[in-house]
Structure 1
Amino acid sequence: MYHYTIGGAQPYGLSLSETLLPEHLKTLGYATHHVGKWHLGFFKQDYTPCFRGFNSHFGYWTGRIDYNDYTSFEHPGFWGYDMRRNMDVASDVYGKYATDLFTEEAVNVIKQHNKSQPLFLYLAHLAVHSGNPYAPLQAPADVVANFTYIKDENRRKFAGMISKLDESVGQVVEALRANQMLHNSVILFSTDNGGPAAGFNQNAASNWPLRGVKASVWEGGVRGAGLLWSPYIINPGRVSHQMIHITDWLPTLISAAGGDPSSLESIDGLDLWETLTQDHPSPRTEFLVNIDPQSNSAAIRIGEWKLLYNPQAFGHHWDFWFGPSGRNETAPETQLDVILEQVQNSLAAKAIKTIYPEAFTDMKSLRLQSEVHCEPVPKNATLSCNSQEHPCLFHIPSDPCEYHNLATAYPLHVNVLRARLKLYNATVVPPRNKPWDPKANPKYWGYSWTNWLDYSPPPTLRAQKSEFSDSFDFYDLYGDFRN
């Protein structure tokens, strides 16, 4: 999946040869539950959550849905309902704002959990991903109204979406406290990519001051924020700048759960549990950002240095620096003391302070430690790395915003990173992407997305009337797309 994400009608998924985190945790005695986004393939049931290690699943299978009606518009003419409870279409929940819906489900999982067994809950929110193209940014009107001081309409909606996500975090943490589970929990809040800024993917995120957007190998596309909370952290209340890659979460969480990460075979991740909990040096010194032979794009990080080739797969107009910065605002609501007071009074803070009363006493310092500082974009900034012969080299600690290409000044560094990149490239397998399968069209399946190849050909050659659609159109299955 290094080339692009899985389309709703593409008949492939994350390989069944891969053992996923919930499968590993099941062997350690965990109850495993998934709420929210899947997006790892569903053309056959064996690729869906309940067949990949989860005891239960409530959520959607495609890459995005509408926040209120849960339909997914994946391709011209491919539209359908996408909400499941395990393998069944969950039509009974239609109409509730998605962030609230998934929060309620997660809270119910916690409330109903038998505490004699450890719990793994994977909550993958739709927020703040874009919804369908016709209404990409959605939040309740009364929530958006709290942000009238934000002039840009899309940023106002985005703020509303984040506000609801923030509420969700608080409700989940409070549920753990109320069910007497918080004192024995590990809570990880993170992301899988940088923000789709400045209208990319019809979104209104901001990676300022970092360069690039989601789907690029610039820092703005790949550097993610994360938060780890647990009473098992030996020296809490700090910002870690140590190197960590998303693949590290598998062995790290297995280690946290009492498993043996050294028994895992053929994985790229490293166990960073002691790095994160005790501030030990990270065993990770490098990581491959990506190699995409389809777009001739690649990047690698070794130590403080990063090498890039053709960093933007979706057009080089996304190679730049996109705001807004959120700085120098004058509205009272944007002042730091006001924001920190809201944090202190949040549900999550109140729950955590029942265990650690001294928590949240040094928020200003932590905020400063977590900030990325860069001067305004200089006139001599490197604007292009679009050549296979002449890649870009950046020193990330001193130039996190990737202004200055140092490839000419440090040719030996280029050679070292290029040689390492070639070693990775020698193991690249062909992308798994498949052509869209017309038989996956929800119009043949009651206007719901489904694991269509388990039932191929469709049980009827005519489209079914959907309870989510007022129209009733007839289609001859094979005649409709024979040409």
Structure 2
Amino acid sequence: MGMSTDLKHRGNSHRNVSIILLLAAGLAVALTNGQDARSPGKPHVIIIMADDLGFDDVSFRGSNNFLTPNIDALAYSGVILNNLYTASMCTPSRSALLTGKYPINTGMQHYVIVNDQPWGLPQKEKTMAEIFRENGYYTSLLGKWHLGMSQRNFTPTQRGFDHHLGYLGAYVDYYDQTYQQNGKNYTRGHDFRLNLNVTHDQVGHYVTDVLSDAAVQLIEQHSSRNSSQPLFLLLSHLAPHAANDDDPMQAPAEELAKFEYIRNETHRYYAAMVSRLDRSVGQVIDALARQQMLQDSIVLFLSDNGGPTVGEHSTTASNYPLRGQKNSPWEGGLRSSAAIWSTEFERLGTVWKQQTYIGDLLPTLAAAAGITPDPDLHLDGMNLWPALKYGYESLEREIVHTIDTNPASPYLSYTRGKWKVVNGTTNAALFDGWLGERLTQEVDPRSANYEELIRNTSVWQHLQLLMGSQSERNISSLRQQAQIECPESSAATKPCLPLLAPCLFDIDADPCERNNLYEEYRNSTILLDLLQRIEQFARQAHAPNNKPEDPQCDPRFYHNEWTWWQDEQASGAGRLSSILIVFVCFWWIF
């Protein structure tokens, strides 16, 4: 397995002048469009999303294997979302975030958009970015999109974002921003853009740093040029997702050196990749504080799904003590380690146990900004802002995690209140076990002074300054509350074999999904009601949008760039370019 550091890819993450100028130009355009009045009560909304981060890979969950002090400081200062559910894979999860709808209602439920597949988030679906922009926000996406690129109108700046710096597909190399399609004989293609324009300025720079620096630049430019307009920023990191299969684990040498005590090389790289992500959170909070925007901001950190411990794109991510991993119906694939902060919260420094779905974030954050989404959008997400603001936890939430009727491997995962139904699974049940663990013999040296470490972060200090009388926090108590406790198995424990029969769990009592209650409840009104509700959702589900691969995507047709190939083919530009090259070659030979 190849591993990369910045010694292999020379360069640094200094600010790029062209990016600064274009950011400034973009903000100037927003001003000239008349979006320059930030109404009272419209906060800046900052969402920092990790990619494939394991549930237990933030140290506020209790692990001392490697620490995430900035993320932890944000969590302890704000509200830890102990039961935030996402979809189990990138594309469905991101579609739910941006539309406020279950993937089954937008056709995004079956697997992810592979780079060579010509489909995307349906044009009829209105995104969170569009809603916020219509209500006076400057909207920016930094990083991953993964909601379609075969046509230009699938891409971020056509779906509500005023500005985008990042990549359109599934993932890229951390240093050269290229993507190699597995199992296909396509040319390895570059995938990084500034708005609609290809940019190679970032080649040689570590992409986590590129995106972090861009976020800092955006905040600085926004504050200096347009302090009256609210900012909506989705910082959608690559980290800690694996890169291409020939070199999946990549981190700067100085970050890697902090984790020499970790013997497993892959895991050492993973710790460094997460650590660089943690550094990014600190940089964003610092920038908001410097520009005096922090007190008027909502800052949310989350992962798009659980981590892949083993199998495809595995990184040693841990979802301990939960069952399963990414791309599975189990809690380990569906629960995100998340935290949110705002001066509006009356109970800061708490662990919120209310069940929450990623699709709730659109109506919830919109409500925080005084925005009421159009009822005709028929959102599945619920406005939980009042409950979050005042710390209520009494709402029974229904969540359709997945209903996938793919004949090859149909499965479903559904929760209502404490009850969860699983029927069928993914990957022939290969990854249905309890895959994560805590390596208690390999401990981050900083853990000996954990509380001091947290209190010395700039994140903690910035946030505490704004808290006043709420500033006292019992970090050890909060850390203990954020951990998931699972009962031990006993002789009475009944296993779940979802390929043979449905399974029923009491998630409140059994969050690790060890004890299958299906036989006990199979004739009860509880289970019958759940199954009827699932059947209702299944009947109304949107057919999957997935389409087979299109070889015309091959980057070799488009100067080795991943691009909106259907538009290029329609215009003849891509094919004409190839024909001209062939013609010139023949002319030179003869």
Q: Would the aligned equivalents of 1:198 and 1:206 in 2 still touch at CA under 8 Å?
A: no
1:8 aligned onto 2:121: no
Instruction: Report the AA paired with residue 435 of structure 1.
Output: P
1:455 aligned onto 2:568: yes
Change (3 A) 1:420 1:146: same
Match of 2:421 among 298, 307, 310: 307
Partner of 2:553: 440
| Secondary structure, aligned partner of 2:340 | strand
| Secondary structure, aligned partner of 1:93 | coil
| 1:378 Cα deviation from its structure 2 partner | 5.6
How far apart, in 2, do the equivalents of 1:270 and 1:403 lie? 30
Change (3 A) 1:461 1:18: closer
Match of 2:235 among 111, 123, 127: 123
Change (3 A) 1:94 1:359: farther
1:351 aligned onto 2:474: no
Instruction: Report the AA paired with residue 178 of structure 2.
Output: T
Greater mean deviation of Cα atoms: 46-55 or 455-464:
455-464
| Secondary structure, aligned partner of 1:386 | coil
Instruction: Report the AA paired with residue 123 of structure 2.
Output: L
Change (3 A) 1:343 1:463: farther
Change (3 A) 1:331 1:285: closer
Q: Would the aligned equivalents of 1:319 and 1:383 in 2 still touch at CA under 8 Å?
A: no
How far apart, in 1, do the equivalents of 2:557 and 2:240 lie? 30
Partner of 2:132: 25
- The residue correspondences of 1:62-461 to structure 2 (distance < 5 A) are 62-75=169-182, 76-78=184-186, 79-113=188-222, 114-261=226-373, 263=375, 265-281=377-393, 283-294=395-406, 295-311=409-425, 313-326=426-439, 328-329=440-441, 331=443, 333=445, 335=447, 337-356=448-467, 359=471, 361-375=473-487, 382-387=495-500, 390-411=501-522, 412=524, 413-456=526-569, 458-461=572-575
How far apart, in 1, do the equivalents of 2:519 and 2:494 lie? 14
How far apart, in 2, do the equivalents of 1:5 and 1:282 lie? 34
Instruction: Report the AA paired with residue 65 of structure 1.
Output: V
Q: Would the aligned equivalents of 2:421 and 2:503 in 1 still touch at CA under 8 Å?
A: yes
Change (3 A) 1:370 1:460: closer
| Secondary structure, aligned partner of 2:413 | strand
Larger helix percent: 2
How far apart, in 1, do the equivalents of 2:343 and 2:133 lie? 23
| Secondary structure, aligned partner of 2:305 | coil
Q: Would the aligned equivalents of 2:176 and 2:202 in 1 still touch at CA under 8 Å?
A: no
How far apart, in 2, do the equivalents of 1:282 and 1:259 lie? 24
Q: Would the aligned equivalents of 2:484 and 2:511 in 1 still touch at CA under 8 Å?
A: yes
Count of residue pairs the alignment pairs up:
463
| 1:445 Cα deviation from its structure 2 partner | 0.4
How far apart, in 2, do the equivalents of 1:377 and 1:325 lie? 19
Q: Would the aligned equivalents of 2:318 and 2:437 in 1 still touch at CA under 8 Å?
A: yes
Note the alpha carbon deviations across 1:56-94, whole angstroms, 9 max, x for none: 110000010001110011232232000000000011221
Note the alpha carbon deviations across 1:132-175, whole angstroms, 9 max, x for none: 11111211122111111112211111110011001000000010
| Secondary structure, aligned partner of 1:120 | strand
| Secondary structure, aligned partner of 2:532 | helix
| Secondary structure, aligned partner of 2:573 | coil
Q: Would the aligned equivalents of 1:211 and 1:319 in 2 still touch at CA under 8 Å?
A: yes
| Secondary structure, aligned partner of 1:171 | helix
Q: Would the aligned equivalents of 2:261 and 2:442 in 1 still touch at CA under 8 Å?
A: no
Provide the TM-score with structure 1 as the length reference: 0.91
Q: Which runs of 5+ in 1 are unaligned?
A: 465-472, 476-483
Provide the TM-score with structure 2 as the length reference: 0.75
Greater mean deviation of Cα atoms: 70-79 or 420-429:
70-79
Greater mean deviation of Cα atoms: 343-352 or 140-149:
343-352
Greater mean deviation of Cα atoms: 274-283 or 47-56:
274-283
| Secondary structure, aligned partner of 2:518 | coil
Instruction: Report the AA paired with residue 298 of structure 1.
Output: L
| Secondary structure, aligned partner of 2:529 | helix
Instruction: Report the AA paired with residue 111 of structure 1.
Output: E
How far apart, in 1, do the equivalents of 2:122 and 2:575 lie? 31
| Secondary structure, aligned partner of 2:180 | strand
| 1:423 Cα deviation from its structure 2 partner | 0.6
Change (3 A) 1:331 1:247: closer
How far apart, in 2, do the equivalents of 1:132 and 1:332 lie? 28
How far apart, in 1, do the equivalents of 2:449 and 2:356 lie? 32
Change (3 A) 1:47 1:330: closer
Partner of 1:61: 168
| Secondary structure, aligned partner of 2:414 | strand
| 1:347 Cα deviation from its structure 2 partner | 2.9
Instruction: Report the AA paired with residue 350 of structure 2.
Output: R
Change (3 A) 1:462 1:155: farther
How far apart, in 2, do the equivalents of 1:44 and 1:172 lie? 32
How far apart, in 2, do the equivalents of 1:66 and 1:40 lie? 19
Change (3 A) 1:212 1:13: same
| 1:124 Cα deviation from its structure 2 partner | 0.2
How far apart, in 1, do the equivalents of 2:529 and 2:200 lie? 55
Change (3 A) 1:181 1:63: same
Instruction: Report the AA paired with residue 434 of structure 1.
Output: K
Q: Would the aligned equivalents of 2:259 and 2:444 in 1 still touch at CA under 8 Å?
A: no
Quote the RMSD (CA, aligned, Å): 2.1
Q: Which runs of 5+ in 2 are unaligned?
A: 1-107, 584-590
Note the alpha carbon deviations across 1:113-139, whole angstroms, 9 max, x for none: 011111101100000111111111211
| Secondary structure, aligned partner of 2:430 | helix
Note the alpha carbon deviations across 1:303-344, whole angstroms, 9 max, x for none: 111011013x22211010012224x34646263x53333222
